[in-house]
Amino acid sequence: MPNPHNVAVVAEQFHGSLQQITSELIGAARFLSEKLGTGVSCFLLGHEITQLAERLVHQGADEVIVIDAPQLKEYATLTYRRAVIGILEHLGTPPQIVLMGSTTIGRDLAPRIAAYLETGLTADCTEFDIGDYEHKGKADPSKTGNFKNILYAIRPSFGESLKARILGPWKNPQMATARIGVVQALPLDTSRKGKIYNISVNFKQEDLRIKVLKTVRDVSVSVNLTEAKVIVSGGYGLGEPEGFEVVRDLASVFKNSVVGASRRAVDSNWIGYAHQVGQTGKTVRPDIYIALGISGAIQHRVGMANSKLIIAVNKDADAPILKFAHYGIVGDLYQVAPLLKKALIKMAKQKY
Ligand SMILES: Cc1cc2nc3c(=O)[nH]c(=O)nc-3n(C[C@H](O)[C@H](O)[C@H](O)COP(=O)(O)OP(=O)(O)OC[C@H]3O[C@@H](n4cnc5c(N)ncnc54)[C@H](O)[C@@H]3O)c2cc1C
């Protein structure tokens, strides 16, 4: 009989709010579990969070296993690792697949769990699928075999010019993390029913070595790049931190707009990391993406190339961004931005 917990998602919540990545992961897990003919299990960890479990069912989980413990009030690597391992031990047979978010927490926790279980982990995936694989394995004959229905963890590779399909059929769980905003969440279905139950875990002394004394919220984290309809981003071409005033001014034309940035601008401390778009920042797909003084390096491009309309302003006619922008303007951004603002006001009034 197939394992009913075959595809598992580690849900992410912060101070009692489920994070967007969780619904996306459940969407991906449903897709995989339907191909496998099994179920989706969700692990929910935290303190005083049991009430969130039903929402996970509405998002597509068949069962939710909750560990609600004061030790899990604040995220800490070792306590959360113990909790996930505790659930896996409780299940007996491990799930075939475990998905987590490529978020700050997921990037910290997933490798710890994979290392503990001595299993593989593919980070930063953009697609998932199920398929077969024949491993001829001349180098290590013990690995040869014909593997059916295994996880295809797909992620861009070689500077995003290729899609790599990464397989680890030798041991379960096959683990992967998904980038935010790239896999589809399912519409919420409040009529869905699922099994919800709590289990407890015995934290060991070694799990409690780190104590979170205080959590200070970085107000800039409220920047919601992934849901913005319009993003106006600034790069190193702004020349100085004050250049972001021009970016903000242009963004102010649109009601639902957010200011983005290249990593070079962020690394120069001109603006907070929460604004960074790209491989090590956010992946975005707004209706309009305006890039001011951004060269269009591959690591930036992968985070915004799926925007519906890309407008780039750059003084260098050979800048890479001008090769993939829908509209490229060659010129000094300080001269172009005010003109662009005037031109966009009409469009903004009509639609944004
Ligand atoms: C592992 C790794 C991960 C990375 N992750 C990211 C990431 O997530 N996001 C990211 O953005 N980058 C990332 N990078 C960095 C990336 O490679 C580039 O260095 C960065 O994107 C460059 O930022 P920029 O375009 O603002 O700066 P630059 O490359 O310096 O480009 C500035 C541009 O501004 C133009 N310019 C200058 N003055 C003006 C003006 N007055 N008017 C108009 N145009 C002007 C120039 O012609 C130039 O094209 C990563 C790099 C690595 C190695």
Q: How far is the CA of 296 from the centre of ligand 1 (A)?
A: 6
Is there an atom of ligand 1 within 6 Å of 314 CB? yes
Distances (CA, A) of 222 to 42, 105, 269: 26, 17, 18
Percent of the chain with pLDDT over 70: 96
Q: Which of 77, 65, 15 has its CA nearest to residue 40? A: 65
Averaged pLDDT, 333-344: 94
Please state, in angstroms and as integers, the Cα–Cα distance from residue 350 to each residue in 30, 34, 255, 287, following that order: 38, 42, 11, 14
Nearest alpha carbon, ligand 1 atom 23:
264
pLDDT at 182 over 60: yes
Please give the CATH topology (third level) of the domain spanning 7-208.
Rossmann fold (3.40.50)
Start and end residues for every CATH 3.40.50.620 domain found in the chain: 7-208
Average pLDDT in the chain? 92
Residue 159 is predicted with a pLDDT of 63
For CATH 3.40.50.1220, list the domain ranges present in the chain: 219-351
Ligand 1 near 297 CB (within 6 A): yes
3-state helix, strand, coil split of the chain in percent (to 5) is 35, 25, 40
Half-sphere exposure of 77 (CA within 13 A, CB side): 14
Condensed to tens digits (0 to 9), the pLDDT of residues 99-117 reads 999 998 999 999 999 999 9
Asked if pLDDT for residue 145 goes beyond 70, the answer is yes
Contact 234, 292 (CB under 8 A): yes
Q: Which atom of ligand 1 is nearest to the CA of 321?
A: 49
Beta-strand pair 13-14/7-10: unpaired
What are the pLDDT digits (tens) for 196-252? 999 999 999 999 998 888 887 665 556 789 889 999 999 999 999 999 999 999 999
Q: Which ligand 1 atom is at minimum distance from the Cα of 319?
A: 49
Give the three-state DSSP class for 165. strand
Rounded to two decimals, what is the model's pTM? 0.67
CATH topology of domain 219-351: Rossmann fold (3.40.50)
Cβ(333) – ligand 1 distance below 6 Å: yes
